Structures are given as C-alpha cells and as structure tokens.
Amino acid sequence: MLGTHDLPLFVVAGLLLSITPGADTLYIVGRSASQGFRAGAIAASGIAAGCCVHILAAALGLSALLYASAAAFTALKITGAIYLVWIGIALLRDAGRDTAAAKTFAADPAGKVFLQGFATNVLNPKVAIFFLAFLPQFIDRGTPNTAVSLLFLGLIFNVLGTLWNLAVAYGSARISRNIGRTSLFARLSKRAAGGLFLFLGYKLATSER
C-alpha cells in the first residue's frame, strides 16, 4: 500500500516503540498528574505536532541533511538538552517551595502546555534520525515516490503514538486523583520529575548519532 510492505509488522513495532518511556512520556505524566487529563491530552497533541515536523523533514530529506551534518546535529542536540535541563531545574526549584498547593507542574494555560510538549519533541534530533532510520525499512525498493510512503508510514506511527500518549495521560490523571495531591506528594513527584529531566538532558547532550 502506497509503496510500503509488512504493514502489520510496522504497526507492532510502532506500538512497542511508542510505549518506551522518554522525555515525551515524562512530560505527559507530569501534566496529567498536576492538571488532569485535559492538560495531558493537550501535551500529547503538542508532541504529535512535533512528530509531524520530524515526519515532514524525513519526507523532504531534511533529516538526511541533519544526519550528514555533524554541526547541525550537535547544535540541535545541545539546544534540546539545554531545554530539558531547564525544565528539570525549574521543577527542582519549585519543589523546594513549601506551598500547600504545590503541583508537579504549574497550572499553565493550554497554549503553553501545547508549546512545551511541541518543543520537547521537535528539539530532539534523535527523533529525526529515528524516523530516517526506521521508516525506510518498510518502503518497497524502486517505489516511484518515497516521500509519499514516508508520510504514510509516519502518519500511522504518529497516530499509534498519540493513542498511547492519551492512554498514559488518562492513567496518570486517574492515579493522581486516587493518591491525592498533597503537598508532600507534590514535592516528591516534582523532585523525581526534575531529576529525570536533568538525566534526560545529560543523556541527550552526551549521546552519539
């Protein structure tokens, strides 16, 4: 279909890759736990929009350019790492504030939640390289229009990932309601999330292509 092959295998592989936790998952969990399912769903939408950028870049050949240019890859990698570290530091600083209404994330407006989710995904060059390496494996050799095939596979992968992210958002919101949003729980979860974001930023900064 549209120059692709082994679609069932692609769907299974896509699902397995989607459930692997990372910065995107952590961001959705944090938003859902602090602001409820709606905020988690908006965060998931921002991440899906970031994936669309990577998919379009792969289809247009920009990801190949990013892979070929060590300077471009390093610049985007460092930018993404700084952003993740910035979120981690902000969370750790907030965790030190003795407020009864402390939350994992501040009650930010929908636009900010969306843009942070978008930036978390789109500033990660590993996502761009992943699409460039993973999607072509399921494209028929000699297909007349590989860009269309890449867009088709990318759309399937993004839909699968978004459905999983929405499930994560729902589950996180439910668990948060059951545990309760006490000040102690909020501070502990904020410290844990902040530490994880710092680790993810360090991991991205020191990673190789």
Greatest Cα pair distance in the chain: 62
* Per-residue pLDDT at 180: 55
What average pLDDT score do residues 108-115 get?
88
* Per-residue pLDDT at 68: 63
User: Could you report the per-residue pLDDT of 79-104, keeping only the tens digit for each?
Assistant: 767 777 777 777 677 655 554 444 45
- Structural domain includes residue 7: no
- Structural domain includes residue 12: no
Q: What is the mean pLDDT of the chain?
A: 78
- Structural domain includes residue 18: no
| SS3 at position 12 | helix
Helix ranges (DSSP H) in 70-182: 70-95, 110-122, 125-134, 146-179
- Structural domain includes residue 33: yes
- Structural domain includes residue 114: yes
What average pLDDT score do residues 34-54 get?
92
Q: Count Cα neighbours of 107 within 13 Å in the Cβ-side half-sphere.
A: 4
* Per-residue pLDDT at 13: 83
DSSP state of 136: G
What average pLDDT score do residues 60-68 get?
64
* Per-residue pLDDT at 41: 96
User: Could you report the per-residue pLDDT of 145-190, keeping only the tens digit for each?
Assistant: 778 888 898 999 999 999 999 999 999 888 877 665 555 555 666 6
Give the whole-number percent of the chain exceeding pLDDT 70.
74
CA nearest to 85, candidates 73, 93, 74: 93
- Structural domain includes residue 197: yes
- Structural domain includes residue 6: no
Which residue range forms the structural domain that includes residue 87?
Answer: 24-205
Contact 117, 52 (CB under 8 A): no
* Per-residue pLDDT at 101: 44
Q: Is the pTM of this model over 0.85?
A: no
String of b and e for 74-89 (b: at least 16 CB within 10 Å)?
A: eebbeebbebbbebbe
- Structural domain includes residue 83: yes
Q: How many domains does the chain have?
A: 1
User: Could you report the per-residue pLDDT of 120-138, keeping only the tens digit for each?
Assistant: 888 877 787 777 777 777 8
